[in-house]
C-alpha cells in the first residue's frame, strides 16, 4: 500500500488526506482496508455494521469526504473501489453519509462539487443547530 498512496495535509483546510501515487480507472479495486474492530464510532473510524466500526486513523480515517466522491467503500468487504478515473496526486474521496449512520462531529463541506450539500452529517441523524445556522447563510431571497 505504501507505494500507491501518501497520507498528507496539503494545507487546504481539509486536514490529512489519502493521495494517489498512481492512477486508477473506474471500477478498479483501490485497496482493502484494515484496522482495529471497535464497538463505538470514533473520529477516523468506518462503520461496518450498526454496532461495529473499523478504527484506522492512518489510512481509512484519512479518506476525505466529497459529495461527488471518486471512490466508494464496501463496509462488508472492506474494499475501496474507484467510482471514476482517479489521476496521480488526486485525493481519494468518499461520501461519509454512504457508510456512517452518525458522525462524531458534523462539519461544513469544502468539497466544491456542483452537488455539494454544504453540511455533512450521518445518514440517520438530524442536522445540528450549528449546521442549520451555517446552511441558512446560503438561502436566497
Q: Which CATH number is 69's domain given?
A: 2.170.270.10
Give the separation between CA 72 and CA 74, rounded to whole angstroms: 7
Contact (CB, 8 A) for 76 and 48: yes
CB 107 within 8 A of CB 120: yes
Q: Of 129, 110, 112, 109, which is closest to residue 120 (Cα–Cα)?
A: 109
Residue 29, domain member (yes or no): yes
Mind listing the pLDDT tens digit for each residue in 89-99? Answer: 999 999 999 99
Distance between CA 4 and CA 90 in Å, rounded? 12
pTM of the model: 0.91
Write out pLDDT tens, residues 29-78: 999 999 999 999 899 999 999 999 999 999 999 999 999 999 999 999 99
Which range marks the domain in which residue 37 is found?
Answer: 5-101
Q: Is residue 15 part of a domain?
A: yes
Specify if 64 maps to a domain. yes
Q: Is residue 138 part of a domain?
A: no
Number of domains making up the chain: 1
Is residue 119 one of the residues assigned to a domain? no
Please tell me whether residue 8 adopts helix, strand or coil conformation. Answer: strand
Amino acid at each position: 500500500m505504501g507505494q500507491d498512496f501518501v497520507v498528507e495535509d496539503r494545507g487546504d483546510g481539509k486536514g490529512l488526506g489519502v493521495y494517489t501515487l498512481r492512477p486508477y480507472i473506474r471500477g478498479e479495486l483501490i485497496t482493502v482496508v484494515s484496522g482495529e474492530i471497535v464497538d463505538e464510532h470514533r473520529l477516523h473510524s468506518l462503520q461496518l455494521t450498526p454496532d461495529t466500526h473499523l478504527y484506522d486513523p492512518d489510512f481509512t480515517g484519512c479518506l476525505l469526504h466529497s459529495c461527488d466522491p471518486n471512490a466508494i467503500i464496501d463496509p462488508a468487504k472492506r474494499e475501496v473501489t474507484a467510482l471514476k478515473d482517479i489521476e496521480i496526486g488526486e485525493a481519494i474521496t468518499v461520501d461519509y453519509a454512504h457508510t456512517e449512520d452518525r458522525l462524531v462531529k458534523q462539519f461544513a463541506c469544502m468539497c466544491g462539487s456542483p452537488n455539494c450539500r454544504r453540511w455533512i452529517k450521518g445518514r440517520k441523524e438530524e442536522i445540528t443547530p450549528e449546521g442549520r445556522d451555517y446552511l441558512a447563510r446560503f438561502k436566497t431571497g
